[in-house]
C-alpha cells in the first residue's frame, strides 16, 4: 500500500501541554481519509505539522514516502490545503481571486475557469466573493487549493458552519476529486455523520492520541447499530430474549439487541408481547461519535 501521508510516533507540545501524542497516521494514496476527533483533539495542530506551518520533526512525518523535514519544498509542492478561513478577497469576484493566485503561482489563467467549473462556481464567477454564501466561499477556497494541481489535499473542517445543502455540495465535490481526479484527501471533522458517507478511511483521535484507524467498513463494524427496547419489565425481557438467542444487553432500563432486519425486530417484539410484557417503544439507534469514542477508549 502506497502511503500519501505517514506519521511515525509524532509528538507535539504547546508549552507543557502535549497536543499530539505518539501519533502514527497512515493515509493511503487515493483515499478520502476522515480525520475525526472532538474539539481540541489536536486535528488542526496535526494538519499544521503536515503543512510544515508548525515545524515537522525529523523522521516523523513522511509525504509520499519522503521525510517532510528533509524534502520540505518538494513535498509542499504536492500539497494543497484549506485550513481555517479561506484566504479570499471579498471585493474581488471568484474568477479574479483565482486569476490573482494564478499570477502569484506563475500558472496559466486558463486553470481558473477550469477550477471554478470543477467546484461548481462557473455561474457565480463574476460575482464578488464577499457576497458568496459560506458554502460557496469554502468551494472557492478549495478551488484556490487546487490551482497548482496538488496530488494531496488537506482540508480542516471544510463543512464547519455550513447548512445541509452546503455540506452535500462539499461532500460531492470531495468524492469527485478523489474518483475523477485521483486526489488523496485528508478531511478533518468532529462529526462522524458528516464524514462517513464520503470517507474511505478513518482515523479517530482524542487528546492527541490515535484511538482508531482503518477503513470505513472496519469502523462500521465497531459502530454496529442496535435496537433499543423499552418495556415494563426489563429484567424478564432480557431473560426471554436471551433464551430466544438474542444477545440482549441492558443499558439503564433499556434492553439493546443488535440491529438485524425489521422482521427480526418484529419477532422480538412478538416474543415479549406474547409473554405479557408491555413494549413501550422499539427504536433503532446508531452509535454516535461520542458513544463510539467511549467504546473505543474502553477497548484501549
Ligand X SMILES: Nc1ncnc2c1ncn2[C@@H]1O[C@H](COP(=O)(O)OP(=O)(O)OP(=O)(O)O)[C@@H](O)[C@H]1O
* Lookup result for grid cell 439493546: 256
For residue 50, the minimal CB distance to ligand X (Å) is 12
Which three three-digit cell numbers place residue 265? 425486530
Range in contact with ligand X (rule: CB under 6 A) among 39-47, 196-204, 278-286, 288-296:
39-47
Q: How many residues bind ligand X (CB under 6 A)?
A: 11
Binding of ligand X at residue 45 (CB under 6 A)? Answer: yes
Among 41, 61, 202, 292, binds ligand X (CB under 6 A): 41
Binding of ligand X at residue 139 (CB under 6 A)? Answer: no
Binding of ligand X at residue 39 (CB under 6 A)? Answer: yes
Among 9, 40, 90, 225, binds ligand X (CB under 6 A): 40
Residue 284, CA distances (Å) to 109, 228, 230, 256, 287 in order: 52, 6, 12, 9, 10
Return the number of the residue (43 or 183) whose C-beta is nearest ligand X. 43
Range in contact with ligand X (rule: CB under 6 A) among 37-45, 86-94, 141-149, 270-278:
37-45
Range in contact with ligand X (rule: CB under 6 A) among 3-11, 40-48, 96-104, 279-287:
40-48
* Lookup result for grid cell 472557492: 140
Range in contact with ligand X (rule: CB under 6 A) among 32-40, 86-94, 96-104, 136-144:
32-40
Among 4, 19, 56, 98, binds ligand X (CB under 6 A): 19
Interaction with ligand X in 163-202: which residues (CB under 6 A)?
A: 190
Return the number of the residue (37 or 86) whose C-beta is nearest ligand X. 37
Binding of ligand X at residue 44 (CB under 6 A)? Answer: yes
As a whole number of angstroms, the distance between CA 147 and CA 155 comes to 15
Taking the CA atoms of residue 36, residue 40, residue 41 and residue 47 in that order, the dihedral angle to the nearest 10 degrees is 70
Range in contact with ligand X (rule: CB under 6 A) among 26-34, 41-49, 68-76, 133-141:
41-49
For residue 69, the minimal CB distance to ligand X (Å) is 20
3-state secondary structure the chain: CCEEEEECCEEEEECCEEEEEEECCEEECCCEEEEECCCCCCHHHHHHHHCCCCCCCCCCEEECCEECCCCHHHHHHCEEEECCCCCCCCCCEHHHHHHHHHHHHCCCCHHHHHHHHHCCCHHHCCCEHHHCCHHHHHHHHHHHHHCCCCCEEEEECCCCCCCHHHHHHHHHHHHHHHHHHCCEEEEEECCHHHHCCCCCEEEEEECCEEEEEEEHHHHHHHCCCEEEEEECCHHHHHHHHHHCCCCCEEECCEEEEECCCHHHHHHHHHHHHHCCCCEEEEEEECCCHHHHHHHHHHHC
Return the number of the residue (37 or 166) whose C-beta is nearest ligand X. 37
For residue 260, the minimal CB distance to ligand X (Å) is 36
For residue 129, the minimal CB distance to ligand X (Å) is 24
Binding of ligand X at residue 43 (CB under 6 A)? Answer: yes
Return the number of the residue (36 or 121) whose C-beta is nearest ligand X. 36
Return the number of the residue (14 or 89) whose C-beta is nearest ligand X. 14
Contact footprint for ligand X (CB under 6 A): 14, 19, 37, 39-45, 190
Amino acid at each position: 500500500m502506497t502511503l500519501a501521508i505517514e506519521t511515525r510516533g509524532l509528538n507535539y507540545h504547546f508549552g507543557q501541554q502535549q497536543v499530539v501524542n505518539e501519533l502514527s497516521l497512515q493515509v493511503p494514496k487515493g483515499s478520502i481519509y476522515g480525520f475525526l476527533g472532538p474539539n481540541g483533539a489536536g486535528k488542526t495542530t496535526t494538519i499544521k505539522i503536515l503543512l510544515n506551518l508548525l515545524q515537522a520533526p525529523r523522521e516523523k512525518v513522511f509525504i509520499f514516502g519522503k521525510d517532510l523535514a528533509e524534502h520540505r519544498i518538494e513535498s509542499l509542492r504536492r500539497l494543497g490545503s484549506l485550513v481555517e478561513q479561506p484566504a479570499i478577497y471579498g471585493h474581488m469576484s471568484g474568477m479574479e481571486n483565482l486569476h490573482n493566485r494564478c499570477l502569484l503561482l506563475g500558472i496559466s489563467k486558463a486553470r481558473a475557469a477550469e477550477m471554478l467549473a470543477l467546484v461548481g462556481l462557473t455561474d457565480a464567477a463574476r460575482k464578488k466573493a464577499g457576497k458568496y454564501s459560506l458554502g460557496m466561499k469554502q468551494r472557492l477556497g478549495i478551488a484556490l487549493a487546487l490551482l497548482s494541481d496538488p496530488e494531496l489535499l488537506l482540508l480542516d473542517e471544510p463543512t464547519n458552519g455550513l447548512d445541509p445543502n452546503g455540506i452535500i455540495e462539499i461532500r460531492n465535490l470531495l468524492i469527485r476529486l478523489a474518483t475523477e481526479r485521483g486526489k488523496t484527501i485528508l478531511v478533518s471533522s468532529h462529526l462522524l455523520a458528516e464524514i462517513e458517507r464520503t470517507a474511505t478511511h478513518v482515523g479517530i483521535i482524542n487528546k492527541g492520541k490515535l484511538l482508531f484507524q482503518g477503513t470505513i467498513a472496519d469502523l462500521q463494524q465497531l459502530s454496529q447499530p442496535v435496537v433499543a427496547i423499552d418495556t415494563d419489565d426489563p429484567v424478564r425481557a432480557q431473560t426471554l430474549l436471551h433464551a430466544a438467542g438474542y444477545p440482549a444487553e441492558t443499558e439503564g432500563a433499556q434492553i439493546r439487541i443488535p440491529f438485524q432486519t425489521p422482521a427480526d425486530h418484529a419477532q422480538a417484539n412478538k416474543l415479549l408481547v406474547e409473554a405479557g410484557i408491555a413494549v413501550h417503544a422499539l427504536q433503532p439507534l446508531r452509535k454516535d461519535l461520542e458513544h463510539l469514542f467511549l467504546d473505543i477508549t474502553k477497548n484501549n
